[in-house]
Structure 1
Amino acid sequence: MEKQIETGIFSGSFNPIHMGHLMLAGYLSAFTYLEEVWFVVTPHNPLKEKESLLPDDIRLEMVRLALADYDNLKVSDVEFRMPQPSYTIDTLNALTREYPDRRFSLIIGGDNWSLFDKWKDYEQIMERYQILIYPRPGENIRIPKRLRKSVQLVNAPEVEISSTFIRHAIEEGKEMRAFLPPKVYDYIKKNHLFRNQESGIRNQESGIRNQRSVL
């Protein structure tokens, strides 16, 4: 059997995707065993609806635009095609079945690691998959010795950029070009996203409904 392709799964709402996301993924693909990083865009959860969360297809399109020039960074809509609610273990198992030529690892932040024992089937995740933890500002990450074969803390640079900060700044009319991938910046500006969200959403929902970029 040929060597499996080492692939990291980086899940998030990406509302919007920003340079911090790309810097982290770039670091992981350059300085760890990962050959590719897949951005898995999480769908709307009807039970936890947020007015600030853009529709699934718009967020997927922004990630597609951000990654268009990177061969080792890709976007997946796998969770859009799964029964809801779906959990991380379900996503990892579905991808493993669909892509037997790949070995998947889970990428999470230190904030999520501190709550990891509350995740559905978290022990199965650790048994079946490698976990890469990246530092978050203010988080003191500890990995018990017995878990260090499957859980690894990566020394990625801490980037204090958040999608929430970017959304609020855009709403206030701040210039955010330096924080966003160029194509994403242009897309947000062209469609008045976050600043005039309702009109931007209406203009885009029909236009990109059939343009999903799927792995």
Structure 2
Amino acid sequence: MNYTFNEIEKDIIQRLKNSEPKRIWTEFIKVIIDFEEYYVELECVPEIASSQNKVDEAMTVKVREFKKSYLPYKNAKVIVENKPITDIKSVRTFLYFTDSITEPAKVKKIDSKWNRMLSKIAGIRKSEIEKLLDGTTSSYHDEIICKPNSDEAKKVNGEFSNLIDVGIILEIGENYLPAFVQGNGYGFAHLERKPLLKSEELKKELIDYELN
């Protein structure tokens, strides 16, 4: 699947460069760039991923502009206020999935590990956990992201690959706001912990991403 920004989204992003929003907010699954008479919204949206496994999802980002004042929700949090955006980059990654492990011996080994963990958390004997899950089927696989132009990406079956624009990076003074979905996770929870990064910190976050 190709989940890259369309021309309208690219235009909205480019117009953010050298702009000065009143505030930048996060609502966990959204980032709001708030101006006097309009606002730009980045929203994390799960989409169907190209995968050899059933029900795998790709976390994408939609960029929209609204010609009205932004009214923050109760859980909205201001992360930047009255600071100009001096530069902006789009962030892209490549997502693929490993084959599911369904061999009984391997699945039993993984299930046993999880059952031990569940028994400790719930205070229930491992044998009771196994009884509760008896009759269910299990399979396991990994989701992996890497740089789109990497050797790793080139080795992946094109039928089961996903090219995704996962957000943007805003340069604000000497800091950077990483408004992009990380690790195919849902939302922008990392912005609530630490919204602004120094250059060296940002480099560590971009190991599996490319900038455009």
- The answer to whether the superposition gives a TM-score over 0.5 is no
Structure (1 or 2) with the greater strand fraction: 2
| Bin of the TM-score, shorter chain as denominator length | under 0.3
What TM-score does the superposition give when structure 1 sets the normalisation length?
0.23
Question: Which protein is bigger by CA-based radius of gyration?
Answer: 2
Normalised to the residue count of structure 2, the TM-score between the two structures is 0.24
